[in-house]
Each structure stands twice: as C-alpha cells, then as structure tokens.
Chain A
C-alpha cells in the first residue's frame, strides 16, 4: 500500500520575488531613518515615545512577517510563536507598579540615595 505516513510533514518552501525583499529592505531603511530623526530633531514627551513605539512595531512587523515568512505560515504556528510574548506585557505592568513603589521608598526613607 502506498499510503503517505500521517506523520510526514508536507514541507512547503517559501518562494517570493526578490523585489518583495528589496521593497521591505527599503521600508526598513526609511523607518530606521525616521526613528533616528525623532532623536536628531529632539522631540520630547509623549510625541517622542509614541513615534518610537510606532516605528519600532512597524519594523518588527515587517521583519517577522516578510523576512521570517510568518505571513505565509498557518495560524497554528503564528499563534504558538506570537501570542506567548504578549504575556511579557503582564510582567511589564507588574514591574512598573513595583518600580513606582521602590522609587517611593527611596525618596521617602533613604533621602533620594540611589
């Protein structure tokens, strides 16, 4: 019997035109230049932070989606890899609260020592 064993993966090779990679390469250059300009121009405050985060997420998205071919994978892999890192945000929230408390203790009880 010529059954294909059920455990054999049908591996698909990603084949996309080179021009797509060149386009993303160019976009990453532009986005990097933009994020550098944020510092060069000297923007401050919420405008600076939001621009940094926007350019960062756009660059990360382009790298993961196109260069790492995540855009063409099945949802089973996409969710397995991209959802767990979101839990780091919970950790961030915990540590923001903790940092505020540490700073409060330092200012209140140690007279602003490091």
Chain B
C-alpha cells in the first residue's frame, strides 16, 4: 500500500466566505481564526471577558437603581459645573468623552502608520494617545475629588439613593483603572517603536521574543475597548 502523495502546495487554498466560511473555519481539527495571529485573537478573547465584567457592573447598577424606593440623584445636576455664573450640566463628562474619542482617533492613526513602518509618526501618535488618556484620568480624579468633597460616599450621599455612590465609584473606578493600565501599556510599546525594536529584532524584556508592528494594533484594540466601555457608561450612568 503506497503512502498518499501530497501535491506541493505553496500557498493556502482560498477560504470560502460568508456563512459557509464561518462553518468551515469552525469545523474540527484546524485553527479557527485563519487570518488573525494568536496575539490578536487572544486580545479579542480577553476583551470579550472584560465585556462581561463591565456588563455585570452595569447590570448591578441597573438592579440597584430599579429596586430602590428612594429617588435616584439626578446625574445632570450632580455632575454639573458652575461656569460663568450658571450651572452647565454634565460639562466635564462631555469634555472627558471628547478627549477619549480623540485618543481613539490618534490610536487608529498610530496603527496605520505602524504598518507603514513609520517609526516616528507611530510613536508620536501613541504618545499623544497616552497624553489624552492621562488627561482623562486627571479629569476623573478631579470629578472624584469634587464629589467626595460634596459628601458622596459608597454608603450615602446628600441627594438620594445610597446606591448612587457605590455604583459610581465602582464603575468609574474600574474604568479609570483600565485607562491607567492602557496609558502604561501605550508608553511601553511607544518606547519600543521609537527605539526601533521591531526593525532590529530586539527581544522583549518580558517574553524574550522578537516583536512585530502588530503589537501596535493589539494595543490599539485594548485602547479602543476602553473608549467603547466609556460610551456605555456615558449613556447608562450619566445620561439615563
């Protein structure tokens, strides 16, 4: 019995697209994500798990707000700032939203320049993204300070339902932590890009492996996710 002969294949066969492709990719005994590297796939799966974490927080907030018999404090008034003799509702939150969206814009452009191997522009745009992120965290620290000085605590506040403080500190605190970790992540990768690690094949300090420009896109995925979570927090916590 002769061994089956393999015809030499130099490039993979084209994959079917659409639903047929979906079924074919998920069929057994092969890797599922065909044109996505393991790094990108794992970041996506991490972000999926993070989605559930923030989903649980928002569901917890919804349950607390729906089940309390005490009136919920009006976010529009709580987060108003006194500017020019009148109270402007939610103005700081609106500015924070614009800052975070701008950081997402610069990050998307950094990914683009990364794949063009434009080291300077990539690093500069990533640093700008980190700067926007740090600005966001700074404004959040200001907001927390203001609310704490007005008497908001996790167990109570002057305006209504006690659950307001606990959900506020938990949700925005967790989101702010994510932004802070993102800023650190951005600074580390921007330094590598600036130094030219991905041209020289310098090995990373943690993994001892050579990096690629794809790490800029993976960092970008995380950063855009932080922006995405803020979209939901802005809608459900501040505007609702």
A interface, CB within 8 angstroms of B = 1-4, 6-7, 9-16, 18, 21-22, 24-25, 28-29, 32, 35-36, 38-40, 48-49, 52-53, 55-56, 59-60, 63-64, 66-69, 73-77, 79-81, 84-85, 88, 91-92, 95-96, 98-100, 102-103, 106-107, 112-114
Contacts and interface: CB of A to CB of B under 8 A. Distances in A.
10 contacts: A11-B40, A21-B105, A32-B101, A39-B238, A53-B235, A68-B221, A75-B19, A80-B44, A91-B55, A114-B68
B10 A2 contact: yes
Given A25-B102, A39-B239, A99-B67, 14 more contacts: A9-B38, A13-B115, A15-B112, A53-B235, A63-B231, A67-B220, A76-B25, A91-B56, A95-B63, A103-B68, A114-B68, A114-B69, A114-B162, A114-B163
A55 B99 CA distance: 18
Contacts of A73: 36
Contact of A1 (B6, B67, B161, B221): B6
A53 B109 CA distance: 28
Interface of B: 6, 8-12, 15, 17-19, 21-22, 25-26, 30-38, 40-41, 44-45, 47-48, 51-52, 55-56, 59, 62-63, 66-70, 76, 89-90, 94, 97-98, 101-102, 104-105, 107-109, 111-112, 115-116, 161-163, 214, 217, 220-221, 224-225, 227-228, 231-232, 234-235, 238-240
B115 A2 contact: no
Given A63-B231, A67-B108, A9 B37 contact: yes
A25 B235 contact: no
A85 B231 contact: no
A113 B69 CA distance: 7
Contacts of A113: 69
- Majority secondary structure, A binding face: helix
A36 B88 CA distance: 11
B62 A92 contact: yes
A74 B115 CA distance: 20
Contacts, number: 197
B173 to A, nearest CB: 21
B97 A32 contact: yes
B68 to A, nearest CB: 6
Contact of B101 (A28, A98, A100): A28
> Which 6 A/B pairs are nearest by Cβ-Cβ distance?
A76-B25, A99-B66, A25-B105, A102-B67, A56-B235, A75-B22
Nearest to B19: A75
Contacts of A100: 66-67
A1 to B, nearest CB: 6
Contacts of A81: 44-45, 47-48
A40 B89 contact: yes
B112 A76 contact: no
